[in-house]
Structure 1
């Protein structure tokens, strides 16, 4: 019995595979496929040029070369917007470094720039000539050719500026003694001539002679004690000829004179000649407004005047005390020590007013004895400056007002002075800076040695800065700022204040 193969199913038979499925898919999705093909064609159109540049960069370089050649042909050598021949050749070179054309093009731009510089020089358009010459040098134009154009340009500028007439004016100003002060005086004219012709022998010689006269005048001013005049003359000499042969010696003399005046001012301050010391420090500042030592000296004079005002107030001479305080404010307006003295003088007014009832010798003697006892009691309690009105210092001031020459009063003053100094040193060793500051205030109220007090203030301010540095390192910015304020109030001229303030400002700006 032979094998029987079943007939092949008809394509429309239910069991036949779905041959028509792709066609049905296309019919269902033809709109999406059409949109996708359109988008693909659009992208190809848009990206055609970038893709071409990516795949064939020489095409872009060739286009840049063509545009550069056209720009060079019409004389458009350089432009900030990139449309100049120089920029286009440089762009072509960046795109295709192996192509020789861009380098040759840049060399042609350099030659064209030289030609423009020469043409503008002949036309008297000197700014344009300088611009073109600068472009030629930047593009490595032959040096000899560029130097020749530069020399021609300088000659034409000199001729146009009327150099000989300018030299005549300068020489006349020198002979008339008008060395500086305005544009028509000798030294400014010499400078203008030398900018146009650096080798002008007359201007070189005239400048040297004029500066020598200035420096001779500065030395004469120094001998006469006119530091401000000497400093002004030296500054002018340095401006016009910083390499003059006489300048170093004159500056050295100026430094010596400045140091001598500073020493004299310190002696006057320590000797109590406050007004003379203030004038000397002021002369130093007139010579150099940035002289830190002179400015610090004025602060010390201001503090000494404040102490004088306090003594005047203790003698019931409040009008004189106020006038003296005014002098102190003029010298050290921001010094916290002055404010402390002002507060103490104001607090002492009612205390002194009550002394008007003490009239007879017996009453004064009795009152002094009571005050001496009260001072001793306050000392036992450690109440040197606090509380106001009943502390040892206030009572001492009243006793000094009633009987300044009383031996017990003088002994109490010496005792309180020593106690205040000991208190300061003790609290500073303990690093109790707030209490050390209070002891320093008491010390300052009694002492007369301003140099010693200044050294103590400097030490305390340095301690405050050290505390501030520790707090800053720990990230405690507010506490570091408080330490900085204390240091500045203690000694506004303490070294390191500005540097630490800047570090703290930077830390605050960066958020710690």
Structure 2
């Protein structure tokens, strides 16, 4: 190995420049520590002259305060020179404030009666500007709102509040049709309230004296009070007392076997007091009475039919058809089957009388006809039989009849005219009326002259059929009054006519339809009259209670 050192390369002989390195990583901790100790970072050898030669900081002029002062002085000077214009602006600002407060008060419902009410504030605004449209419109709105409050108070029966609000509205709106309408309604309501007190006193007196029915009865008077004041406690209590009295009446009617009257009273009670607590019990009592009476009636009817078939038409005691049918009518007044049964009893008696006439037993014939007349006095067959008896020349004390004298031509002509007039009267529906000119009377008059006149006898006996035809036509034409007359005529001419019950029910239904129609038209008086007709014809029809309730609700 050579001991000679290699000489450095030529590049290494160049001068190397000093390098400070990365200044970002320079450690300044010593300076920070010096600063914390209060030491100056200035080198000790630094010259004080350099410090003295640093530029001095210049002072600024306070321009902003100066500008503000100048503006204030200028504004004050302008305000001093424009005082008149500023004084004109101040009322306008106050007006807007008043209008805003007034609108707020109106929206809150403070209409009048206080300094911060809408009315007072709008009027204060008008004092500043009498022609201000917003203030005028606001007062108009307040007036209409006061009118609305008057109507609401009237509905609540607050008549004092209604009067106060109405007067406010009148003073703002200056009257008008709407104000007058509320004023009239208020006056009517006040008068009605006073009348209610009078009605209550009258109703109490009627109740104390036992007057329940009728327009002056307690029921009607208390009903009028409740119609005007549904929540009137005195009237409600009075109606409860009326209900108790009617319940007692129903019990009395049932004890007297007046089931029809009890049903009518119950119908009235249910119409007046549909929530009366005793209604279920009363209905049960009537239903029980109906079942008992119906069972007894059916027994009488069955026995009457059996006696009639056995030929036991009449006689002493109860063992005959006449007695049984009359007992059935007593148990159920107006029962159509019982009436028909009695009519057949009368027919049987007339048949027996005609047989007695043919046999020359005038005395027996007269007795039979008199008996039949007690059951069916207007029977056409009875009239014909009496004519035969009168013209047969029989005498009560004679044992045999003598032939009747022949008719003169004048009598024959007279009979012919009477028969023709009778036929004409029957076609017009004058069956039993007018007296003397009815078909019934004319046929009888003809038979009075010629008791054996076949045409007169046939016409007289045909009157029931003519009456039925007239009834059908009257019902079709809604002429219920004439139909009612025809039904009554038929029941007189032929009490046992089997068509009579169906005709009665048909006519009763027609009257109920008419009553219901009148209720719809608001004609309560006419509806009540039609209902009464239906009650007489079909007292047990369930529609009677329904129509009666409608009439009472609309009364």
TM-score band, normalised by shorter chain: 0.3 to 0.5
Structure-1-length-normalised TM-score:
0.35
More helix by share: 1
Give the structure, 1 or 2, with the largest relative contact order (CA under 8 Å, sep 6 or more): 2
Larger Rg belongs to: 2
